[in-house]
Structure 1
Amino acid sequence: MAKLVGQNLLHASENTSLESSVENEESQMSLPPFNREEPQLQQKNNEIHPSKLAEDIAMVHINQTGSFQELNGSNATGFCRIFSDFADKTSLNGVQFIKASSSLPVKVIWSLLLSAAIGAMIFHLYSMFTNYFAYTKHSQIDLSFSKLPFPAVTVCNVNIMRSSQKDKAGQALRDLINAINPQQMMEKAKDWKPTMDYSSGGDARRMDNFLDNFSMNMSFTNDRMEAQNTYFTETCKDCWEKESTSSSSNTVEYNFRELFNRESETTRDILGHQVQDLIQQCSFAGRKCMLTNFSRLHSTSYGNCYVIEYNKFISRKSGPDGGLELTLFLETDEYIPGITNGRGIQVVIHQPGTVPFPKDEGIAVAAGSQTFIGLRVVKVTRLGEPYSPCTSTDNFVTKYSKTYTRNTCQKICQEMSVRDKCHCYDESELELYDVIENPTGLKPCRNMSQLMCVSKVVFQYDGTDSSCECNNPCSETVYAKSIASRQWPSPSYADLLIQAICQEKPNSTCSVLKNKDNLNKLEDFIKLNIYFEDLNYEELSEQEDYTTTQLLSDIGGTIGLWIGLSVLSLFELVNLVTELIAYLFCIKLGNH
């Protein structure tokens, strides 16, 4: 190999000497160069140029293992060659001017301009990515029109228990009812002398009143209320509740509900108002609906409530004629004196499949009235993470067979926290037991230590427990309501209603109804009209302020603005990086 290279070098040297002498003679004789051009070209095609051969030998040596090894020149020279080739071919603005210019000041100016453009581009891109990853959003409202599925409606008589059924209640509940004597309370009210209350300390004071402080002879002690008072006075030092005590009127109602909720489910069903008594007439869009369309809901505050939810109820026209109409009989003679202090119903209008909470979400409707509740539908859609946290209803439906609402989730989380920390279950939220089952092996929270634990969990729960997050639903239907009412029925129509009721009631009940004066007759009835005011509905949806498509478009515009590159031009940079990596790899391979 070396011998062959030496021979080539020798021949090349001789040819070079011969060529030099010929050229000298030509220059001396002033012969035109074209006279020897054709022979020179033929000679060069058959010979190895010495400078090219020397460069090849200096740069690359092919050894027997096939590896590449650089024998002459530095790494910097190789890098410069790669960058020089890139500068010749790239469409990146300014690079050609830096290379092509022979003036150093011009090179410096173009280098500064290119650096400034790249810096501005980086700042611009940083601003865009910051804006994109802020995940800002806005709300978009669209109006649509179509026939609408009717919401679920829950109706509760405000009287939790029928007085005629009190003998079927437990002994403690009967004793409480017997101890509440309105006549005795009236006698005490006559002798009541108001005093000033300084219990809050300092100059803060107010006039005591009879409803806050009347007393009754009751054998039942409400440990739950005692536990709450103890929690406020001993544990919750900053709570405003510790500055006052529970009023007597609230205590009576609280004690009654506590004892009523301790009755078995079967007993509570019997004690409460029955659907065939409460619902005297039902129609949807002018067509009669059946009592079988109603299902019972156990309410902590109202006893038996009834839910009408039928997926075939579709409103095809707006107004009262296209909605639900109910005629309700309140059985006010069954109201328990001293416990039920008003007449009427509680109505909840809610999304089908959700759990209603009449005390928290209900509308109070007075007795002796016809009430019109007009609805407007708002369908809300949220983006979810990372724009705003929301909960999909699918997993909730799978687990509980109910549509997700934030209120339901919070109550379930609170109940689960009670079970986990107090090792018992809270029986004060009857609505939940239509969703979650009573746990096996756990007893209700009734002794003082358990109720103290329940009070702590309930009053400290703020819905931020990371193990049980309750976000807004990702999609929900909200019903905006407008309410109007008028006195109803007229005395003559009330007599007609009573006559219809007497056909199904015992004679004793019928005689009581007929002997009532006109005012009391009217207060036994309510007419309820629920309908859509308009079949137009709003779609309120969250939209991204800065979409991925906009980001990509802005990236291209920014790079093109500052350094003049397109998407394809970016691959020039990719190619440059690839060549540099390949070059470094060859150097490393050659060193080994």
Structure 2
Amino acid sequence: MKPNALDLFEKFTKRTTCHGLDQITEQGRPTYIKFIWGLALAVLFGGMCWQLTARVLEYTEFSTDTKLHEEFAPYVEFPSISICNYNRFFNITDHHELAAVDGLIRLSSPARLQSEDALWEKYIRDYYQDSKHSIFLSDEVEKRGWQLSEQTIMKCTFHHKPCNYTSFSSFITTMGKCFTFNSHEKKQSIPGDGHGLKITLNVMQRELMSGLWGICNENPKKMKYHHKYSFAECMTECRIGYVIKKCGCKPYWTYQVHDALECDVWNMINCSGDAEADSLNLTPDECGCDQPCHSVGFVQALSYATYPGVLVGEILAADEENPEKGSNDIESHIMTANELNMSEIDPFRVKLNAYRDNHLMLDIFHETLSFTRVTQSKKITEMSLASDFGGLLGLWLGISVVTVAEIVQFFFQLLAAFLKKRPVVLPVEHV
């Protein structure tokens, strides 16, 4: 007699290592006992599925374990320091030039008023019709931007060694002309004030013109215009690529791009101004920019005070008015406040206030020679996920790998029995 599916199932429950199934099919047991065992197995199976689903979801959500470890070192790398002046243009005395430059800046702003576009375009066209004016905004920034020179650097030291404007390299950004400090000694071995970069600047305020695991990518895309990948630089390159693709030229502030020509003022009016404004609305998904799994960040601590003090400020302001006196005049004024009659120097503090308005001192340094290493690792690895599967199957139903093999065998037996029962239909010949 050929076995049917019920007979095969009964035999399977008696020899399988999955506990509890034989309690349902055992002969002679009351029906209510079998029902209770069936209900219990259904509840246990549901609990197992619930826990397995929770573990799989936690794995697919890229959950991480974060480990913080503070490490001390004999020295730490000194970061690249870039200095920009928010006042992008200086010494523009021609009203038409100022209106044209201001108009070009407004064209690429997402907050511009379109109702004023025609007016600004008129200023731009009127000024740049003259062929003696360069039609590239980067030339205007280079010529009229804030300069780092002997006149603007009042004092500069790095590791207590003197530095000057030749220690900085310039580049053009959307903030105007910026300068990055370059030093052969890019390490700080002594923590604290004065052991990093200390610089006093004249910002020329009075000459201001108006106007690893987780949701990260271990191998982010290669940067085209930057040496190292970062999320911000990726978005910047995306903006650059958007403008180049749409208008065939690059924005004026893309100093690192060498495979495209700069957009001239006519292109800014007709295309790149709008494109640059629109590029600010690009999303990381549209740009394909992911958070990198490896990055280095600096925690900034900012403190400030009025610079300089009254006593020193009066002396410095007086020396600025009479530069031929030099530093010897300062040394001659080293005395206590009681010995120096401040009212005789500048009774209304006019020079002091002017000096304070136009000068600032930056002291950039590492407070400690330690750094915090933040490491994120998989909270659930593939190995631990497989172990969870095995543990939960065994805990709730007593299922092991052997049981899985038995279940596979059972299904093949069912399939074989079904195929053997299929009737064979022979064609009937009609005489």
Same fold flag (TM > 0.5): yes
Distance 1:390 1:313, change over 3 A: same
Residues 506-551 of structure 1 deviation map (CA, whole Å, 9 limit, x = unaligned): xxxxxxxxxxx84356666543211122334344555555554543
Return the index of the structure with the highest Cα Rg: 1
Task: State how far apart, in whole Å, the 1-side matches of 2:283 and 2:404 are.
Answer: 47
Written as runs of structure 1 = structure 2, the 5 A alignment for 1:419-498 is 419-427=244-252, 430=253, 432-433=254-255, 435-437=256-258, 439-440=260-261, 443-446=263-266, 450-451=270-271, 454-455=273-274, 458-459=277-278, 461-464=280-283, 466-476=285-295, 477-488=297-308, 489-492=312-315, 498=323
Q: Secondary structure at the match of 1:322?
A: coil
* Alignment partner, residue 21 of structure 1: none
Distance 1:579 1:275, change over 3 A: farther
Q: Secondary structure at the match of 1:395?
A: coil
Give the one of 200, 221, 225 matched to 1:400. 225
| Letter in structure 2 aligned against 1:486 | T
Alignment of 1:296 with 2:223, yes or no, is no
What TM-score results when the alignment is normalised by the length of structure 2? 0.68
Distance 1:464 1:99, change over 3 A: same
Identity percentage over the alignment? 19
Q: Is the 8 A contact 1:260 1:268 kept in 2?
A: no
| Letter in structure 2 aligned against 1:490 | G
* Alignment partner, residue 374 of structure 1: none
Structure ranking higher in strand proportion: 1
* Alignment partner, residue 129 of structure 1: 56
User: 1:426 offset after TM fit, Å?
Assistant: 3.4
* Alignment partner, residue 74 of structure 1: 2
User: 1:133 offset after TM fit, Å?
Assistant: 2.8
Task: State how far apart, in whole Å, the 2-side matches of 1:157 and 1:140 are.
Answer: 39
Q: Is the 8 A contact 2:196 2:363 kept in 1?
A: yes
**Gapped regions of structure 2 (runs ≥ 5):** 329-349, 426-431
Task: State how far apart, in whole Å, the 1-side matches of 2:359 and 2:172 are.
Answer: 23
Task: State how far apart, in whole Å, the 1-side matches of 2:34 and 2:174 are.
Answer: 85
Task: State how far apart, in whole Å, the 1-side matches of 2:317 and 2:102 are.
Answer: 43
* Alignment partner, residue 325 of structure 1: 198
* Alignment partner, residue 33 of structure 1: none
Q: Is the 8 A contact 1:414 1:458 kept in 2?
A: no
* Alignment partner, residue 167 of structure 1: none
| Letter in structure 2 aligned against 1:527 | M
What TM-score results when the alignment is normalised by the length of structure 1? 0.52
Task: State how far apart, in whole Å, the 2-side matches of 1:311 and 1:567 are.
Answer: 62
Q: Point out the more displaced range, 538-547 or 473-482.
A: 538-547
Structure ranking higher in helix proportion: 1
Distance 1:336 1:464, change over 3 A: same
| Letter in structure 2 aligned against 1:133 | T
Alignment of 1:153 with 2:81, yes or no, is yes
User: 1:391 offset after TM fit, Å?
Assistant: 7.9
Q: Secondary structure at the match of 1:320?
A: coil
Distance 1:416 1:245, change over 3 A: closer
Task: State how far apart, in whole Å, the 1-side matches of 2:179 and 2:112 are.
Answer: 37
Give the one of 284, 307, 314 matched to 2:158. 284
Aligned-residue CA RMSD (Å): 5.0
Written as runs of structure 1 = structure 2, the 5 A alignment for 1:196-215 is none
User: 1:438 offset after TM fit, Å?
Assistant: 5.3
Residues 37-86 of structure 1 deviation map (CA, whole Å, 9 limit, x = unaligned): xxxxxxxxxxxxxxxxxxxxxxxxxxxxxxxxxxxx3252xx66755554
Task: State how far apart, in whole Å, the 1-side matches of 2:85 and 2:411 are.
Answer: 79
- Structure with greater contact order relative to length (CA < 8 Å, sep ≥ 6): 2
Q: Point out the more displaced range, 460-469 or 492-501.
A: 492-501
Residues 360-394 of structure 1 deviation map (CA, whole Å, 9 limit, x = unaligned): xxxxxxxxxxxxxxxxxxxxxx63xxx42558566
Distance 1:500 1:583, change over 3 A: farther
